[in-house]
Amino acid sequence: MLKHEAQAPPAPAARPANRRQISDRTLSQLFIWPTLILLIIINIFPLFYSLFLSFTNYSAIANRPPEWIGFTNFDRLLNSSDIWGYFSLTGRYALISVGLQTVIGFGLALLLRKKFRGSGIVTTLILIPMMLSPVVVGLFWKLMFNPAYGIFNYLVGFTNPVTAPDWLASPSLALWAIIIVDVWMWSPFVMLLCLSGLSAIPDYLYEAAAIDRASAWFQFRRITLPQVAPLLLIAVLFRTIEAFKAFDLVMGLTGGGPGNATQMISVEIYSQAFLGQFRTGRASALAYIVLVIIIAVSNVYIRTLNKVREG
Amino acid sequence: MATIQLQQVEKKFGDVYAVQPMDLTIQDGEFVVLLGPSGCGKTTTLRMISGLEAVSSGQILLNGRDVTWAHPSDRDIAFVFQFFALYPHLSVWQNIAFPLQAQGESGADVEKRVAEVAALLRIEHLLRLRPGALSGGDQQRIALARALVRRPAAFLMDEPLGALDAELRETMRAEIKRLHIDQHATTVYVTHDQIEAMAMGDRIVVMSNAVVQQVGTPADVYHRPHNLFVARFIGSPGMNLLSGDYADGIIALPGGNRYPVPEAWDRALRARLGQAGRVIVGFRPEAARIGGGGTLTATVYAADMHGGYTMLHLSLDGEDGEMVHARASRQEHFKIGEVVRFDLHPDMVRFFDAQTEVALEEVR
């Protein structure tokens, strides 16, 4: 390529006048605008339109224009005990799920940190769940959870199909079923970030610690953990945001049921918007409440992250 | 405090020796310097003493206790790394307190001992900073403080001044020497800088190609190098080494020079070579006595003013013959091309076997 250019004849000093010239600036605009237009249509416009809708009484299937009702949607939502119940369910789910992912992911990273024969292939295998589509994951875990022929009960020791629990149909177990799948799917992600954090810790710190007569636990607490903390926090931040938005897995596994046992807040938004009366206005309001909460939680994390970085 | 004994300690990487079997006893309170060019095995030796590197064979005794296979933390030694190896996420205070806290010392005790060590090294004003914010010299002081605070049985230092600039090295060299005198702690110090080794060591272990070449006091390795490697490696410039033919008490040197061998050495040469044979004569630049006649003749090739003295480059054999370095007082002046006569101080001349390159012993 380079050679080819080098051999090209020198450009003539003055170009033919009839040749249309496109300046670099025009050219770059030509490339950027299609993307920008697409973004505006599918992202920016809905963002502001839904903000507008959240202050209206509007249903996408009713043949009526949006009716401005001010803060009524927000007022109703924030005073509804059901909604608060879904929020607390989502919070509990996020806390347990992310907590388990952090512990398991970090644990796996510690195990895979030292290279051994086949460690590359083991790491890749562990990462596979993360690469699957959540809908697919939901569907085949649904099969595995099936009390009659699913393999999950067999693996955890309930070998009699009659007495074995029906994970997805039991109000007390359904949430845990989703948590199990989410942990299975996303612990590898935490592991991946932790592994890169661990590999960045220089060996000499551990040599110095050995000389300083630090026990393995003391080394872990005073060197490994603080050194990995920034990346670990990033993993936790990503996973928390995702957990608050949990939707596809839940829809694939339980659809919010049984009853309302796994009605996460995103599922509730979906139900409001696309089931029954199609309350588009109220669903938009709820979506904005969730957005504000996620931004707030993320900010707390980012502040913590910065604090850890600066010490 | 501790004595350290190495018995036939060796290190192999595959089939290649990093350290050939070596014996060494380091006395309590002694300051021993491992000196050699890079890749000679000195750092590997130090790391084996510390336990950071496993020996391939042999034994290491600390105060008579066999620690060959003991973990570094079971050896009660401190190690100062070339690139400091401070904990970057901890403050200076936390870095120094680390070894104490790792041992579960009480808070008050930690406070007290960190304060003591900080005062000793004059780093009290740095305690709340992070290592990354400090200069190289200060970082090395912190590393020293971290080693000192534990009151270990022995200190191992791996080129602790290697990462510092020249001026700072002088200062830190003095500080480490001073610390050693105050603490009287057994210290093993690795360096490739022979000036540092001469200045600091009670004894120097000269290593090259994984082999110990000589163990001796700085004066020993300087004045009585055990072989040609040590003779060349120690001193700047190294020892003058001239190959000549010995016959009947006279050595024929380049340029038609005939050097009469001092009597004590003559017996040694006769015992080794018989009536005649090839031998290497060695002498330090300051062993040459210029002016006032002498048995050897040379032409001045260049004269460098070194401030306190003048270093002469003398050609024994015309314009581009074999060169020797000679030290002259700064008052004397020499013109290039001038012919000078000089003699060798009989106590400062050495002889080496031309084949084995090992020094001959005087026979009195």
Record: contact A209-B150, CB cut-off 8 A:
no
Q: Tell me which amino acid residue B167 is.
A: E
Record: contact A211-B72, CB cut-off 8 A:
yes
Q: How many CB atoms lie within 10 A of CB A220?
A: 14
Predicted pLDDT at A260:
84
For residue B260, what is the domain's CATH number? 2.40.50.140
Alpha-carbon gap, residue B98 to B96, rounded angstroms: 5
Both B48 and B167 in one domain: the answer is yes
Phi-psi sector, A203: left (phi>0), alpha (psi -120 to 50), beta? alpha
Residue B11 counted as domain residue? yes
The chain-wide mean pLDDT, for chain A, equals: 86
Residue A9 counted as domain residue? no
For residue A277, what is the domain's CATH number? 1.10.3720.10
Residue B83 counted as domain residue? yes
Cβ of residue A209 closer than 8 Å to a chain B Cβ: yes
Residue B15 counted as domain residue? yes
Q: CB neighbours of B231 closer than 8 A, spacing ≥ 6?
A: B225, B238, B239, B241, B282, B350, B352, B359
Q: Which residue from B71, B89, B91 is facing A210, i.e. has the nearest CB?
A: B71
Alpha-carbon gap, residue B62 to B51, rounded angstroms: 12
Record: contact B89-A227, CB cut-off 8 A:
yes
Residue B235 counted as domain residue? no
Record: contact A212-B52, CB cut-off 8 A:
no
Locate the chain B residue with the closest alpha carbon to A207: B52
Q: How many CB atoms lie within 10 A of CB A311?
A: 11
Low-confidence ranges of chain B (pLDDT < 50): none
Record: contact B85-A208, CB cut-off 8 A:
yes
Both B302 and B201 in one domain: the answer is no
Closest alpha carbon to A301 in A227, A228, A233, A246: A233
Residue A78 counted as domain residue? yes
Burial call B330-354: b when 16+ CB within 10 Å, e when fewer: eeeebeeeeebebbbeeeebbbbbb
Q: Which of A5-19, A181-195, B121-135 has the highest mean pLDDT?
A: A181-195
Alpha-carbon gap, residue B117 to B111, rounded angstroms: 10
Record: contact A205-B85, CB cut-off 8 A:
yes
Predicted pLDDT at B165:
81
Closest alpha carbon to A89 in A278, A250, A285: A250
* Residues B141-166 pLDDT 10s: 899 899 989 888 899 999 888 878 88
Residue A7 counted as domain residue? no
Residue A54 counted as domain residue? no
Alpha-carbon gap, residue B34 to A294, rounded angstroms: 61
Both B216 and B270 in one domain: the answer is no
- Taking each helix axis as running N to C, give the angle between helix A174-199 and helix A81-113, from 0 to 180 degrees, rounded to the nearest 10: 40
Residues paired with B78 in a beta bridge: B155
Alpha-carbon gap, residue B41 to B34, rounded angstroms: 9
Alpha-carbon gap, residue B207 to B44, rounded angstroms: 11
Both B152 and B40 in one domain: the answer is yes
Locate the chain B residue with the closest alpha carbon to A215: B102
Alpha-carbon gap, residue B66 to A311, rounded angstroms: 42
Both B157 and B34 in one domain: the answer is yes
For residue B189, what is the domain's CATH number? 3.40.50.300
Nearest-Cα distance to chain B for A265, in Å, is: 39
Locate B25 and state its tokens.
């006893």
Residue B257 counted as domain residue? yes
The whole-model pTM stands at 0.77
Cβ of residue A79 closer than 8 Å to a chain B Cβ: no
A35 pLDDT band, cuts 50/70/90, is very high
Using a CB-CB cut-off of 8 Å, the residues of chain A touching B99 are 211-214
Residue B118 backbone phi and psi in degrees, to 5:
-60, -40
CB A144 within 8 A of CB A151: yes
Q: How far is CA A18 from the centre of its chain?
A: 54
Residue A182 counted as domain residue? yes
Q: Which residue from A211, A218, A226 is facing B89, i.e. has the nearest CB?
A: A226
Predicted pLDDT at B252:
87
Both B158 and B199 in one domain: the answer is yes
How many CB pairs below 8 Å do chains A and B form together? 62
Predicted pLDDT at B269:
86
- Among A201, A207, A213, A232, which would you mutate to test the B interface (most chain B Cβ atoms within 10 Å of its Cβ)? A213
CA dihedral B136, B141, B142, B144 (to 10 degrees): 130
Both B199 and B346 in one domain: the answer is no
CB B215 within 8 A of CB B205: yes
Residue B364 counted as domain residue? no
Both B104 and B55 in one domain: the answer is yes
Record: contact A311-B99, CB cut-off 8 A:
no
Domain range spanning residue A195? 72-310
Domain range spanning residue B190? 4-226
Burial call A43-52: b when 16+ CB within 10 Å, e when fewer: eeeeeeebee
* Residues A36-56 pLDDT 10s: 999 999 999 999 998 998 888
Cβ of residue A227 closer than 8 Å to a chain B Cβ: yes
Both B142 and B115 in one domain: the answer is yes
Residue B36 counted as domain residue? yes
Predicted pLDDT at A93:
94
DSSP per residue, B163-226 = TS-HHHHHHHHHHHHHHHHHH--EEEEEES-HHHHHHH-SEEEEEETTEEEEEE-HHHHHHS-S
Per-residue pLDDT for A17 more than 60? Answer: no
Alpha-carbon gap, residue A258 to B205, rounded angstroms: 79
Q: How far lies A94's CA from each of A91, A106, A172, A175, B250, in Å?
A: 5, 17, 16, 11, 95
Q: Which residue from B51, B77, B81 is facing A208, i.e. has the nearest CB?
A: B81
Residue A18 counted as domain residue? no
| Chain B interface, Cβ < 8 Å to A | 50-52, 71-73, 77-79, 81, 83, 85-87, 89-91, 98-99, 101-103, 130, 146, 150
What's the total number of domains in chain B? 2
Domain limit, last residue, from B226, B254, B273? B226
The pLDDT of A214-240, averaged and rounded, is 90
Predicted pLDDT at B277:
85
Sign of CA dihedral B214, B216, B218, B219: negative
Q: Which residue from B72, B87, B102 is facing A205, i.e. has the nearest CB?
A: B87
Locate the chain A residue with the closest alpha carbon to B53: A207
Per-residue pLDDT for A7 more than 60? Answer: no
Nearest-Cα distance to chain B for A269, in Å, is: 44
Kind of pairing between the strands at B154-158 and B186-191: parallel
Both B284 and B341 in one domain: the answer is yes
What's the total number of domains in chain A? 1
Alpha-carbon gap, residue A20 to A14, rounded angstroms: 13
Q: Which residue from B73, B89, B103 is facing A210, i.e. has the nearest CB?
A: B73
Domain limit, last residue, from B166, B201, B226? B226
A6 pLDDT band, cuts 50/70/90, is very low
Using a CB-CB cut-off of 8 Å, the residues of chain A touching B71 are 210
Domain limit, last residue, from B172, B203, B226? B226
Cβ of residue A214 closer than 8 Å to a chain B Cβ: yes
Predicted pLDDT at A193:
94
